[in-house]
Structure 1
Amino acid sequence: MRYKGKTVLVTGAASGIGAATARRFSREGANVVLSDTDSDKLAQVVRDLPAAHTRTITGDIAKPADCEAMVTTAVENFGGLDILVANAGFAVMGPMEEVSDENFAGVIENNLTGTYRTIKAAWEPLKKSKGTIIATSSVSGMRGDFGAFAYATSKAGISNLVRSLALDFQRHGIRVNAVAPGFTETGLTADMMNNAKFLERMHSRIPMGRDGQPEEIAGVVAFLASEDASFVNGVILPVDGGLTASNGQPPLA
């Protein structure tokens, strides 16, 4: 119950890492505000969460007014905001010649600019609480990826946004970090999970030999938000089964 009395806002909370993160904070006693564009899935996620300590709001992080409304929901219902988990995002896959300018701009607008807008909306209450921010980057934001240049670019931007804001916000007592998930079983990777040949190749690249689970990412988010991470700031923490530790060579026989 280390988060009892604390209030957490989780964006992209209707599925995957966001849903697992919201459940994790709720289980540890927090008041949790869950936001997503999908109200039906949000309703499913919160069915088993304590009603007195849970709120949902349908919103799009690409819209500044929606970001403000998410933060207002936390402040008006629970008296403030202590932790922001800026998790919402999506991917457009394909090589550059197959991705339109509009689709590329949409990924940047939602993932990178949307993360910035969410943080900007939460800035004042987090300053009051000397709170903490955890964004969701990706190992794709640390290195390139085949057929994912738009997504990788947006996540690289998030990583350096986190580093830069960590430097600027430290004088106000706000820590800013990010998790960088590796290949994780979520809705974003559902098509890949159904491709046995791709899955075999991907698992062969991951030293632990498997994909990650949303709950494993959520555990690291909860750590970064805790007092146990009180001297951790500006970090992009891979949660990837050892993927980024490897230079890609096969193991010795």
Structure 2
Amino acid sequence: MKRFKEKTVIITGADSDIGRATALRFAQEGANCIIVGINSDILGYIYEDLPQDHTWINTGNHLTVTSDINDPTQTARLVEHVLEKYNHIDVMVNIDTAVGIHQSVIPELIKTKGNIVNISALTDLSADWSIDTYKAEQSKLTELTKKLALENIPNNVRINAVTAGFVTTDVSSNPFVTHSPLGKTATPFDVTAAVMFLASDDAAIITGLNLPVDGGVSTFTN
């Protein structure tokens, strides 16, 4: 059973490893994926990997959109473009991007009783990185998620988040690993598994949750 068959899913910040993994998983589970980012070449490569439903003759059942979602004008055009092709929006996955787009998409999610999953991930560790900084960012996302979720409970729109810690396909050691009780960091697949759960009807009773996918780092400070 494909959990997202005929669902329309917008993925922002999709021109990334997490974006690619997320789009692929949603497409495999039947969704129409709108992959949004600022790098059109990367979006094109991701699009080519997505499985197609061949009932969508000539037009394909997925869409790439090169857009800066921090620009309200571009965001409005994005939503208009999606509705022209699919008529509805069911899920938005927001990868390391501003939440301002919520105000444009939520009116459509109200119609479908849809949901949003925000993702905060470390894909690069700067020289001044620290576990305290990570914990502070995690706390900030938790509070924001709760606030947005409470505001939209009357609208039957669920809003959750995933704090992904340091995400890499490289198994070599890194500073984040030293804080991980499980002794490893998350991969894009790990992050996507959590997103798929929160976006699905399996999590129909869950809202306002920030789910850490970080090897247990969130449970310890040192």
| Normalised TM-score (structure 2) | 0.85
Uncovered stretches (5+) of structure 2, i.e. residues with no partner:
53-58, 123-128
> How many angstroms does 1:164 deviate by?
0.6
Question: Deviation string for 1:127-182 (max 9, x for gaps)?
Answer: 1111001011358xxxxx52996x87766544322211110101111000000001
Partner in structure 2 of residue 95 of structure 1: none
Partner in structure 2 of residue 59 of structure 1: 67
Matches of 2:77 and 2:136 in 1, distance apart?
28
Partner in structure 2 of residue 185 of structure 1: 168
Is residue 7–residue 81 contact of structure 1 (8 Å, CA) maintained in 2?
yes
> How many angstroms does 1:247 deviate by?
4.1
Is residue 137–residue 159 contact of structure 1 (8 Å, CA) maintained in 2?
no
Uncovered stretches (5+) of structure 1, i.e. residues with no partner:
90-110, 140-144, 187-192, 249-253
In the alignment, which of 137, 143, 146 is matched to residue 130 of structure 2? 146
Letter in 1 for 2:34: V
Letter in 2 for 1:209: G
Is residue 17–residue 218 contact of structure 1 (8 Å, CA) maintained in 2?
yes
Partner in structure 2 of residue 125 of structure 1: 108
The answer to which structure has the higher helix fraction is 1
Is residue 12–residue 93 contact of structure 2 (8 Å, CA) maintained in 1?
yes
Give the share of equivalent positions with the same residue, in percent. 33
Is 1:26 the counterpart of 2:27? The answer is yes
Is residue 59–residue 70 contact of structure 1 (8 Å, CA) maintained in 2?
yes
Is residue 9–residue 71 contact of structure 1 (8 Å, CA) maintained in 2?
no
Letter in 2 for 1:182: G
- Per the alignment, in what secondary structure is the counterpart of residue 161 of structure 2? strand
Distance 1:244 1:153, change over 3 A: closer
Partner in structure 1 of residue 85 of structure 2: 77
> How many angstroms does 1:204 deviate by?
2.5
Is residue 91–residue 114 contact of structure 2 (8 Å, CA) maintained in 1?
yes
| Normalised TM-score (structure 1) | 0.75
Is residue 12–residue 19 contact of structure 1 (8 Å, CA) maintained in 2?
no
Letter in 1 for 2:73: A
Q: How many equivalent pairs are there?
A: 209
Matches of 1:159 and 1:175 in 2, distance apart?
14
Is residue 12–residue 35 contact of structure 1 (8 Å, CA) maintained in 2?
yes
